């Protein structure tokens, strides 16, 4: 097990380039199983979750190789197994994304309950209801067994706008017979990226970016290549870093359309000043963080919701930023009932936070944080604690940083280039 040792209170200055979007790369890698022809994927982040997913598909007989620092060649010429490695499935949530492609391509798959961040119950019912609507049978005995004779188009109303369930339904439907309509579909940028990638391989998907997706099934997909876009969650993380440390950070690779709501919330709830220099997002060094009250001097809130609203995975980052802003604000995590449980670690650092219930926390700032011995519980809370340690007085130690490595490529190297004092042990 590795740890970070951080000496806080050093200003951060300089330029940082955002890595590829993990949440786009994972379903796109899974989708390569839909064709027996080669696929090349560029700008793939070299992170833990990617390596685990590659190990899973490699165990199935899929060939892959890194052909550059962040370029990956994949060919699922044949799939020799129908059971996913149970130990690897336990490591990442994204293992469930192989269900749709394997069901469509070879007609059956045994998949064990996926792992990932422990941030509350993450139900799988929506996935399997969609598969059944397409003609599959699903049984459960310690693992999920999916089987189909033939997949056919269907009108599917998802009972929640689940990102991974939407992606699974799309991948199962692209080579099914007939037309499939998915209503209440998730429309996050990474869902859109998956759809555009599949279309480049010969799929026929309409309604990309909306909550109603129409898919005309095709007989087969061919090979191709794709470049993964930048990770908006990493952009949000570096906005948080820049806001709470003295210094100017220039972020390269951010896509304006994707970070618009995050920028809006940071500026109109926490008073953070941002600007664009052409396509470079700049966090200036003269920040005056303060909570901006609602009309009538009411206490404002930051809450999450499906796209295009504020992303759930930035709630932990926003909470740490709020500890350094002057005023009182409510953090309302609507989607996951265990995400806010890491606040006890921030309280131990000196933050003034009242955890009202599993979904709501009241933050009163600004507070002077001090170094502490911490443990990363999940990817986003781990990054939030890293931000807190960088702004704190004294030295902090963060254990279990493998959780952070699952979502952020070489984060310690990027931070050192900006001036942070951090080492990996």
List the catalytic residues: 117
d(CA 100, CA 82): 12
Give the CA angle between residues 169, 171, 173 to the nearest 5°. Answer: 65
């Amino acid at each position: 097990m590795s740890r970070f040792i951080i000496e806080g209170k050093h200003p951060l200055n300089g330029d940082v380039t955002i890595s590829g979007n993990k949440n786009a790369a994972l379903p796109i890698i899974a989708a390569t199983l839909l064709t027996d022809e080669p696929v090349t994927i560029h700008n793939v982040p070299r992170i833990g979750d990617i390596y685990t997913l590659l190990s899973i598909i490699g165990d199935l007989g899929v060939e892959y190789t890194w052909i550059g620092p962040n370029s990956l060649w994949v060919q699922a010429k044949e799939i020799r197994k129908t059971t996913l490695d149970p130990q690897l499935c336990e490591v990442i949530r994204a293992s469930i994304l192989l269900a749709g492609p394997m069901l469509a391509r070879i007609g059956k798959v045994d998949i064990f309950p996926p792992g990932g961040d422990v941030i509350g119950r993450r139900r799988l019912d929506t996935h399997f209801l969609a598969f059944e609507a397409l003609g599959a049978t699903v049984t459960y005995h310690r693992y999920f067994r999916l089987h189909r004779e033939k997949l056919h188009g269907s009108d599917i109303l998802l009972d929640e706008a689940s990102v991974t369930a939407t992606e699974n339904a799309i991948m199962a439907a692209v080579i099914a017979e007939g037309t499939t309509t998915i209503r209440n579909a998730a429309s996050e940028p990474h869902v859109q990226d998956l759809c555009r990638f599949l279309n480049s391989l010969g799929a026929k998907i309409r309604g990309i970016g909306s909550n109603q997706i129409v898919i005309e099934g095709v007989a087969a997909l061919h090979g191709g290549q794709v470049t993964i876009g930048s990770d908006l969650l990493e952009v949000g993380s570096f906005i948080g870093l820049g806001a709470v440390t003295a210094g100017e950070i220039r972020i390269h690779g951010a896509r304006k359309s994707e970070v618009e709501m995050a920028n809006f919330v940071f500026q109109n709830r926490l008073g953070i000043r941002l600007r664009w220099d052409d396509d470079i997002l700049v966090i200036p060094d003269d920040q005056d963080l303060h909570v901006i009250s609602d009309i009538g001097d009411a206490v404002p809130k930051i809450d999450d919701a499906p796209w295009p609203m504020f992303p759930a995975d930035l709630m932990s980052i926003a909470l740490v930023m709020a500890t350094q802003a002057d005023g009182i604000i409510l953090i309302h995590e609507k989607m996951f009932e265990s995400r806010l449980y890491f606040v006890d670690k921030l309280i131990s650092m000196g933050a003034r936070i009242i955890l009202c219930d599993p979904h709501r926390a009241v933050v009163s700032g600004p507070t002077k944080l001090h170094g502490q011995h911490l443990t990363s519980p999940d990817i986003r809370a781990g990054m939030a604690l890293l931000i807190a340690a960088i702004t704190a007085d004294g030295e902090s130690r963060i254990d279990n940083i493998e959780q952070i490595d699952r979502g952020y490529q070489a984060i310690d190297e990027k931070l050192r280039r900006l001036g942070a004092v951090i080492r990996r042990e």
